[in-house]
A and B are shown apart, each in its own frame.
Chain A
Amino acid sequence: MKRRPGIEADPVDCNRQEIRFLERRLLLKGALSLGALGLLTGCDVTDEETVHRVLWNMSRWNDRVQMALFDPKRLAPTYAQSAITRPFPFNAYYRESEAPVVDGDSFRLELGGLIRDRRPWSLAELNTLPQSTQITRHVCVEGWSAIGKWSGVPFRTFLERVGADLSARYVGFKCADDYYTSIDMATALHPQTQLTLRFDERTLPRSYGFPMKVRIPTKLGFKNPKHVMAIYVTNVYPGGYWEDKGYNWFAGL
C-alpha cells in the first residue's frame, strides 16, 4: 500500500517486521522448551525410541563437528623415557588372564573393502615394513591415563602399501577378542597412528594386544583396538562395539 506524503507511517505498520521477528522468537523459544521438556520427561511426552534417535543424531552431529575440527598435522604430546608408566595398566572387558592367545606363526592379517591388494599379511612380513617409535599418553574414557612406548608401522605407510582408497571415509578393525571399532580416514593417515608390533622395546605382550594393536594417540583408549585380526576400508559407517552402545564414535582428544 502506497503512503501519502506528509503522513506519518502507521506505528503498527512500521513495527510489523519487528513483531514478526518477535513472534518467530517466541515460537522458537516455545519449541525449544517443549523439546527440553520432552527430553527431561522422556516417556511422558514421547517414546524412548524417539529420545534415543534424537540423542544418537546429536552424537553423530558431534562426530561431524569433531571431524571438521580435527587437525591432521597436529601431533599428540610425546614424553621422555623416564615418564613411562610402569607397570602399564591392563584394561579390557575381560580379566587379564582371559586375554586371547594368538599364534604368531599362523597369524595372518586379513584385509577387506576398498583395498586393491587384499592379500593377508604375516607378522614377519609386517616386520619388514618401516617402523617408528612413540612415547605417548593413553587416555581412558574411564578417567585414568598412562604413558607407554609403542613401536610399529606408521598406518599411513601400510595403507599406501596395500593400495587402500585413501579418499574413503572409514577404516574398521576386527579383533581376536571379538571387539570391533572404526576410525575416520583422516585419523588413519595421521603421522602418529601406528600398527603397533612392539611395546617398550619388546614384542607386544599378550595383555597389550599381541600380535598387533592399532595405536592412536589422538583418540581415547577404546579407539585403540588390540589383537587386530582384520582391517577394512569402507564408505559405510561401521560404528564399533562401545560406539553402538552410545559412546561417542570420534572420541578425539
Chain B
Amino acid sequence: MRAGMRTGVIAVCLGLAGHASADQTQAPAGTGQPMNPDEPMEGGMMKPGMQKADVRKSAEKKAEQMKEMLEKEAESMPPMPEQAPHAH
C-alpha cells in the first residue's frame, strides 16, 4: 500500500517537473472564460452603446473589404528563390 503511494507521489512529482520544463510554446496557466458578446465593452476607449460583439462584426466587415485586394497583391509577388524550412 505504502509502496503504491510512494510510486504515486513520485509519478505526480515527475509529471509536475515535466510540465515545468515543457516546451516554451505552451500557453501559461489560465483557461479563461468565454466572452459575452452582448455585454458593454470594458475600458476607457469605448463610447456609450458599444458592445463586445462590435469588434467581431467590424473585423469581419474589414476582412471582406480587404480580401480581394490582398489576394491581388499576394499574386503580384514573385516567389522566394528557395523554399527552405523556416527553422535553421
List the interface of chain A (C-beta within 8 A of B): 91-95, 97-105, 107, 112-119, 121-125, 127-128, 141-143, 163, 165, 172, 174, 177-180, 202-207, 210-211, 222, 232-236, 238-239, 241-242, 244-245, 247
Contact = CB atoms under 8 A, between A and B. Distances in A.
A20 B32 CA distance: 71
A195 B66 CA distance: 23
Interface residues of B, number: 41
A177 B27 CA distance: 16
A205 B55 CA distance: 22
A231 B43 CA distance: 25
A115 B74 contact: yes
B62 to A, nearest CB: 6
B33 A141 contact: no
8 contacts: A105-B23, A114-B76, A116-B78, A117-B80, A117-B83, A143-B44, A206-B32, A232-B70
Contacts of A103: 27
Top-3 shortest CB links A-B: A104-B25, A142-B44, A125-B86
Interface string B46-62: 11000010011011001
Contact of B66 (A114, A116, A119, A234): A234
Contacts of B28: 202-206, 210
